[in-house]
Structure 1
Amino acid sequence: MKRSLRKQINWVVAPVLSISLLAGCSGAATPAAGTGTATGTTKDNKPAVTEPTKIQFLVPSFAEVPNMSDQYWTEFQKRSNSKLDIEWIPSGDYNTKFDLVLASGNLPEVIVSQSATRSTLLNAINQGAFWDLTPLLGDFSQYPNLKKNADPNVWNYMKVNGKIYGVARNRPNIDPGIKMRKDWLDKLNIPVPQTLDEYAAALKKIVDGDVDGNGKKDTVGILGHDFFIADGDPAYLAAFGGLDPIYDKEGGLMKESLTPNYTEMIDWFRKLYADGILAKEFSTIKKTQAEEMFATGRAASYTRNIWRDWSWEQDIKKVQPDAQVITLPPMKGPGGVSVALVPPFFGAFYISKKVPEAKVKQILEYFNTTTTKEFTDFNYYGIEGVHHKLVDGQPQLTELGIKEVTTNANQPFPLSFNNIMKVFNASAPKAYNDAKIKETEIYAKVGKMNLFNIVYSDTWTNTWPKYEKEWQSMVIKAVVGQITMDEYKAYVDKLNANPDIKKAYQEFGAKYKEFFGK
């Protein structure tokens, strides 16, 4: 099974984004056929376009809330023949808002879920909150871009009980990486860590020293956010073998957070916490706080998207001119290496069942129109001569481009799949990007994907919310030393003996076979 899964996820790194759209970007654009309010039909039996399609979205925000009337968004809506009404929610608060909106029943026309297996999402699907898109998509002949410009497996991954409810938000498998302040390693004459043990030892020297030169020993070793290490959990867990399929005595596929491997990782972080390496406030830090701490030079290591290395390095240089941020190479741990691949999608768009079918087709056509390399290029660079200029043959963002073409630009449309999207930084020089892409190619070869971003269980969906907060509390208590590891293990054993959880493991196993084969 392990080999078949690796075959599914070890896609080769795609070529650098095409820039076919970029020449002439500043000129007038022709609205894309098929989107917009229609009167009559075209000769290919698609709606004839008149007015732009108006779409209401709820999406996460990973940067400042954009001005939808600025030059970037005005041009994007012109090209896509759309009028977007977007409610932007800070990413750190998004899941809470998402759950509240689902509970209220007051859904926007299109809502983003950042996970295809979130329990509240699956419950809403089972309760009929969203359109079953299966018959509308059909063989994708009416929406060819949604199929040809996505990963080959993504529509299979979208299925819930054999039906498609979400339009995948295409993303690369290579995305998060464990970051490190290379200049601090150099200052202490420490080589780049190749193992988890070397990593922990390096961080101990950093937090015990005065590497930032402020006269205090106040540097944070490892940052996390939102309960634990958040984006970093899978990478560290991969090094403990916790992203491999792990089965209980009855042959059920165990949830990764309740495996012995996860417990081993907790014990490792417990030691790091005791050594002052893990941030004292790790369980209460919000994502925006963690970003600010790292970007102002107050922490040595943090796990987020690889493309952020350049941006954060420039931010830190404002206060620490010699700053150098790197993504660490795969580090060996007791059960693997510290690389977690992500699914070829970051959640999906779901269309409220309250939306009339004719409008659903217009929304699907908007998604089809924008799922192209041309729109993805525009998402990176905006308008030539306004948002970017060519430097050494590579588009590079201008000051206005950095302001207007943020990571929020890719939130309201699917994008076209490529495997360097989260490595490449449009503000960085070509030589930097070329080197970064080369350095991280190994990730696709050695990384593992968390199975539970794909497989799901109705029993787990209904059962886990009863225990999730208590389990999180026990993890925190174990890490900070308020309970012993034996007490934590006994608690996990009790959960794993729960009949509903054991039933969920059987369902997970069945779904694993359904999605990935034997």
Structure 2
Amino acid sequence: MKVKKRWAPWVCLVLSLLLIAGCGGGSAPEGADTDSGDNGVLSIKMFAGLYNEIPDMDNAYWKEWEKRTNSKLDIEWIPSGDLDSKLDLLLASGDLPEVVAYQNAIRPTLITAIKNGAFWDLTPFLGDMSEYPNLKKNLAPDALKYLSVDGKIYAVPRSRSRVDGGIKIREDWLKKLNIPVPKTFDEYKAALKKIVDSDMDGNGQKDTVGLLYVNSAPAGFQAGFGVYNPTYDKDGGLMSPGLTPQYADMVEWFRGLYAEGLMSKEYAVMKESQAEELFKTNRAASYGRPIWWDHEWEQAMKKSGQPDAKILNLNMTGPNGDPAVALETGVAGGFYISKKVPEEKVKQLLKYFDMTASQEMTDFAYYGIEGAHHTVVDEQKVLTEQGIKEVNTTSKGAGVLAYAKWGKVISASGDKAYNDAKIKEVENFDEIGKIDPYRVITSDGWRDTWPKYQDEFNTMVTRAIVGQSTMEEFRAYVDRLNNQPDIKNAYQEMAKAYEQFNQ
């Protein structure tokens, strides 16, 4: 199946002229598709992220999803690495599908589109939520607040676990080399040193990668350095986490890892797919990624010649005692309804999303059909070969789903004993972890300001880590940014936004 393409420009032009000719006022064009199709089936055109192979929408999973929700889905699947750029192009074109599913609720182009009226304000539709019982009771705390702009709700959430990523290390290698499980960053660094100096992949060379660092510092390290602790400048402005003194301390620490050969040399250009391949084929010791992949990756490691392979998500503290655990908000973006959709169909779409937030549909999204996609072993649902192929991250992208505390921890291909142990491994993460404050708030000033500096800042971070510039030069550069009038003004706005968010 190919990725769906939007209508050709000339078709859009003809339709636009027809719609303009038929407009009679109101918030939606007359003549738009307001009915639910044959037999009351709700047709939905959607833009959504692709995280696996392009799905066959005629397979057993998707046919059952459509049957249970009485829907017909027409989804344009966009590869996850292209989502940001494709969204920007989509918003610029104005040629929106009925629903846009997107993971970053504070992306500047999305906020601008919302403020320009591209999407429905869902606040009056949702009301007291009495018409949407699943959305009312099955969402993460503050879920709708994360999807609000200027106090108005513009999306329903893509529910995901707050406990998601972990700083992974090869536990079997620790045991093989008699290394204690690291509890601090210093102990972690010493463990990497011993692993890198050994021939862990058995190829006769000391070429094992220590930490797989891709594009930016894994969130757990940022939390451990206190980067996610709200930090204010001398004027009371809420500083960007990346421009805090503690972030510079973290950069210096990574600089030390890099100088000692303890992290991927090609990190600045490495892609996640390349890093994942290195980890799965026993060529790297540590990686910061979602926990629920551990079982699948362990199986790959075993097939690559290390039958005792075992992944552990570390529970460490940083230099000042901050837990090295980063949390998600419980909301991985949301589903935005185009303002071109007639009001009556908005209500139908919200009913659909409410249905997808039920426990029944959430259970289906994680495990599919019993007998086809999963079997039950020791009271634990375990995916079959067909289930592994059809039930994945992408297959969860067409509905809200109920909030599941361990949804991104347990493996659908692991048995009950495995998953119970994995939950035990991270059982206190939800209590000790931190959320990046700049991921839950935004302001006009920050959206207008930071893009002017972002690329240069990323380059300066890389230069500092690889030793092309000194830490003194990096800190001086950060100080100059923090004293820019536009950044200082943006900090003031962000402080007010954070205060309002926490009221």
TM beyond 0.5: yes
Q: CA deviation at 1:275?
A: 0.9
Superposed, 1:221-260 pairs within 5 Å as: 221-225=210-214, 227-229=215-217, 232=218, 234-260=219-245
Query: Is the 1:187–1:211 Cα contact (8 Å) retained in structure 2?
Result: no
**What residue is the counterpart of 1:462 in the other structure?**
448
Q: CA deviation at 1:347?
A: 0.9
Q: Bigger relative contact order, structure 1 or 2, given CA contacts below 8 A and separation 6+?
A: 1
Secondary structure of 1:154's aligned partner: coil
**What residue is the counterpart of 1:23 in the other structure?**
none
- 1:194 matched to 2:183? The reply is yes
**What residue is the counterpart of 2:197 in the other structure?**
208
Q: CA deviation at 1:335?
A: 4.6
1:253-290 CA distances to partner (integer Å, 9 max, x unpaired)?
11111111111111110111111112111111222222
Query: Is the 2:108–2:447 Cα contact (8 Å) retained in structure 1?
Result: yes
| Greater shift in the superposed pair: 91-100 or 346-355 | 91-100
**What residue is the counterpart of 1:271 in the other structure?**
256
Give, in whole Å, the separation in 1 of the partners of 2:298 and 2:87.
32
Give, in whole Å, the separation in 2 of the partners of 1:485 and 1:90.
37
| Greater shift in the superposed pair: 326-335 or 386-395 | 326-335
Query: Is the 2:223–2:322 Cα contact (8 Å) retained in structure 1?
Result: yes
Give, in whole Å, the separation in 2 of the partners of 1:299 and 1:100.
37
| Greater shift in the superposed pair: 289-298 or 205-214 | 289-298
Give, in whole Å, the separation in 2 of the partners of 1:313 and 1:361.
44
Decide which of 333, 339, 349 is 2:319's aligned counterpart.
Answer: 333
Query: Is the 1:172–1:344 Cα contact (8 Å) retained in structure 2?
Result: yes
**What residue is the counterpart of 1:85 in the other structure?**
74
Letter in 2 for 1:330: M
Decide which of 288, 292, 308 is 1:303's aligned counterpart.
Answer: 288
Decide which of 486, 494, 500 is 1:508's aligned counterpart.
Answer: 494
**What residue is the counterpart of 2:300 in the other structure?**
315
Any stretches of 5+ residues in structure 2 without a counterpart? 1-32
- 1:148 matched to 2:152? The reply is no
Compared CA separation, residues 439 and 246, structure 1 to 2 (3 A): same
Give, in whole Å, the separation in 2 of the partners of 1:51 and 1:219.
58
Give, in whole Å, the separation in 1 of the partners of 2:37 and 2:209.
58
Query: Is the 2:185–2:316 Cα contact (8 Å) retained in structure 1?
Result: no
Give, in whole Å, the separation in 1 of the partners of 2:192 and 2:102.
35
Give, in whole Å, the separation in 1 of the partners of 2:250 and 2:163.
22
Q: CA deviation at 1:94?
A: 1.9
Secondary structure of 1:89's aligned partner: strand
Query: Is the 2:146–2:331 Cα contact (8 Å) retained in structure 1?
Result: no
**What residue is the counterpart of 1:168 in the other structure?**
157
Give, in whole Å, the separation in 2 of the partners of 1:477 and 1:350.
39
| Greater shift in the superposed pair: 180-189 or 338-347 | 180-189
Secondary structure of 1:501's aligned partner: helix
1:301-321 CA distances to partner (integer Å, 9 max, x unpaired)?
111111111111011111122
**What residue is the counterpart of 2:27 in the other structure?**
none
Give, in whole Å, the separation in 2 of the partners of 1:343 and 1:129.
25
Letter in 1 for 2:469: I
Letter in 2 for 1:191: P
**What residue is the counterpart of 1:8 in the other structure?**
none
Query: Is the 1:372–1:415 Cα contact (8 Å) retained in structure 2?
Result: yes
Q: CA deviation at 1:510?
A: 0.9
Decide which of 340, 344, 349 is 1:358's aligned counterpart.
Answer: 344
**What residue is the counterpart of 1:51 in the other structure?**
40
Q: CA deviation at 1:342?
A: 1.0
**Alignment coverage as a number of residue pairs:** 470
Give, in whole Å, the separation in 1 of the partners of 2:495 and 2:321.
22
Q: CA deviation at 1:297?
A: 1.9
Letter in 1 for 2:220: A
Secondary structure of 1:307's aligned partner: helix
- Give the structure-1-normalised TM-score: 0.88
Query: Is the 1:238–1:335 Cα contact (8 Å) retained in structure 2?
Result: no
Identical columns (%): 54
Letter in 2 for 1:54: S
Q: CA deviation at 1:369?
A: 1.1
**What residue is the counterpart of 2:28 in the other structure?**
none
Query: Is the 1:123–1:461 Cα contact (8 Å) retained in structure 2?
Result: no
Give, in whole Å, the separation in 2 of the partners of 1:311 and 1:185.
20
- 1:417 matched to 2:407? The reply is no
Secondary structure of 2:428's aligned partner: helix
- 1:131 matched to 2:129? The reply is no
Query: Is the 1:222–1:301 Cα contact (8 Å) retained in structure 2?
Result: yes
Give, in whole Å, the separation in 2 of the partners of 1:224 and 1:88.
28
Give, in whole Å, the separation in 1 of the partners of 2:460 and 2:342.
46
Q: CA deviation at 1:218?
A: 1.8
Q: CA deviation at 1:48?
A: 11
**What residue is the counterpart of 1:34 in the other structure?**
none
Give, in whole Å, the separation in 1 of the partners of 2:141 and 2:247.
31
Q: CA deviation at 1:455?
A: 1.4
**What residue is the counterpart of 1:107 in the other structure?**
96
Give, in whole Å, the separation in 1 of the partners of 2:274 and 2:119.
34
Q: CA deviation at 1:215?
A: 1.2
Secondary structure of 1:221's aligned partner: strand
Give, in whole Å, the separation in 2 of the partners of 1:419 and 1:310.
18
Give, in whole Å, the separation in 2 of the partners of 1:498 and 1:354.
41
Any stretches of 5+ residues in structure 1 without a counterpart? 1-36, 40-46
Compared CA separation, residues 325 and 152, structure 1 to 2 (3 A): closer
Secondary structure of 1:449's aligned partner: coil
- Give the structure-2-normalised TM-score: 0.90
Query: Is the 2:47–2:75 Cα contact (8 Å) retained in structure 1?
Result: yes
**What residue is the counterpart of 1:496 in the other structure?**
482
- 1:443 matched to 2:432? The reply is no
Query: Is the 2:313–2:425 Cα contact (8 Å) retained in structure 1?
Result: no
**What residue is the counterpart of 2:383 in the other structure?**
397
Give, in whole Å, the separation in 1 of the partners of 2:146 and 2:194.
44
Secondary structure of 2:420's aligned partner: helix
**What residue is the counterpart of 1:385 in the other structure?**
371
**What residue is the counterpart of 2:275 in the other structure?**
290
Q: CA deviation at 1:474?
A: 0.7
Give, in whole Å, the separation in 1 of the partners of 2:259 and 2:212.
15
Give, in whole Å, the separation in 2 of the partners of 1:332 and 1:189.
23
Secondary structure of 1:212's aligned partner: coil
